[in-house]
A and B are shown apart, each in its own frame.
Chain A
């Protein structure tokens, strides 16, 4: 566990050393700004972040994999994984350290999102309770996205493969699952309904912190982190 902090620090600084962090932040803010203009900031618009938050599952499913694609794939490609894994660290430390680095960066992005709340505040009353619930939901959902991204980054030494392999299932489970669930019937439909990320996020965006949804996000995040650890460990029996 000792090694988690240095790895987190290194990942965070690596984000800011490379242009990726700035590019992601800038394009993320631009996207939010455009979406904000389109959905909220117009005559008769609803003075809340709700419309913006509604699209966040899609926006994050595209932006967060870009953050995670580098995390392990780049270590494999450049060979630094060899120096890393021959230092006295274990696989869990590496995965947790990198995950926390990505989560901290994601929190910076969320601060950017909530800056729009200040704009809204000039035109109406902000429901801070609802905003907090939304924040918790976004944090949990984003963590899951990052864990999935980290898992796929651990599977390949190619960042492009990592990012594509992450975005596709995220979109499937965020949107397609929900849509199919309404069409399908019986057990399959029910299962897809329970696996739909957007379904679980919806309550949060309405200001409701539901234990079911929280547990869904937390357990699936842990599952993907666990899988990432196992993939990294598999090096030891391959």
Chain B
């Protein structure tokens, strides 16, 4: 449905998006994850035909976003990051205006407005001026606007930013629900949110694509980094040499605290050295009180990426 190839966007000397490629299939909910300033909004603005790419191409529903932008615009519903709205208009007037821009006839418009306001819990606010609404309410108006012409693709830029926890949960549920009828690409800088809602995650940082896949795939990708944590009691030096010589062990960090040796063992590849380690302890007559595998969470992975990126920017 969305097909992005080698997309780059440069503002003068600053590279905001650096040769990104990804695909979103029909019916998917894809999370576009990245720290602030990663290039999420720049990419989304290219996809929604707000501004053109410096190089590369993007297609939505088979239409090129640059050469066939009007067709793309009819296909997508877009909620920009700050939810810009006309504060002086009432909700109904605004949706009416937007419906006209999308070429909906007056009967269709009335039906569509009725439907989206119900869906976005806006019915009781429909005659209020937008300027009087709270941030969360305005967000809903923006979402209702994006849904108005029943687009096949929904592009939501940070739809939960600035909302309170209840509203975040409501919005999240709504997105999940909308995923049944629409293909959704939504950006966020909060991993847990993306993890809960999306069938696939695309992580970008510093304008580059870092990782993409389902949450499970990403977890598998990072489980290679898992470490083994063990606490063993015995002679310090003997433990260190014995463990380091164990087959499959890459490196050992060892520290002593209240009479126990705390080991952090990194193993190469997928070798499971839990059993050999237990046997080693048993054979030497040491005692053991903890043995567990520490798998980094997606959160750790994400934080690491961000740290690497900001490190790269600093150097």
Contacts and interface: CB of A to CB of B under 8 A. Distances in A.
Contacts of B313: none
Contacts of B84: 78-83
B70 A235 contact: no
B88 A83 contact: no
Interface of A: 2-3, 5-7, 9-10, 13-14, 17-18, 78-90, 235-238
Interface in B140-167: 142, 145
B51 interface: yes
B80 A79 contact: yes
B86 A14 contact: yes
Contacts of B103: 2, 88
Interface string B65-78: 00000100110101
B97 A85 contact: no
Contacts of B101: 3, 6-7, 84, 87-89
Given A10-B97, A235-B51, A86 B74 contact: no
Interface of B: 45, 48-52, 70, 73-74, 76, 78, 80, 82, 84-89, 93, 97-98, 100-103, 142, 145
Contact of A88 (B51, B52, B73, B88): B73
A6 B74 contact: no
Given A14-B88, A88-B73, A90-B70, A82 B50 contact: yes
Question: What 3 A-B pairs are tightest by C-beta distance, nearest first?
Answer: A79-B84, A6-B100, A17-B88
Nearest to A88: B73
A66 B52 CA distance: 32
Nearest to B12: A238
B52 A236 contact: yes
B97 A6 contact: yes
Among A5, A6, A84, A88, which residue has the most Cβ atoms of chain B within 10 A?
A: A88
A88 B70 contact: yes
A81 B50 CA distance: 9
Contacts, number: 69
Contacts of A86: 48-50, 73, 76, 78, 80
Contacts of B89: 10, 13-14, 17
B45 to A, nearest CB: 8
A52 B207 CA distance: 61
Nearest to A238: B51
B102 A13 contact: no
Among A79, A84, A87, A236, which residue has the most Cβ atoms of chain B within 10 A?
A: A87
Contacts of A2: 103
A49 to B, nearest CB: 35
A88 B145 CA distance: 13
Given A82-B45, A84-B101, 7 more contacts: A6-B100, A6-B101, A10-B86, A79-B80, A82-B80, A83-B80, A88-B102
A9 B100 CA distance: 11
A20 to B, nearest CB: 10
Among B49, B84, B85, B98, which residue has the most Cβ atoms of chain A within 10 A?
A: B84
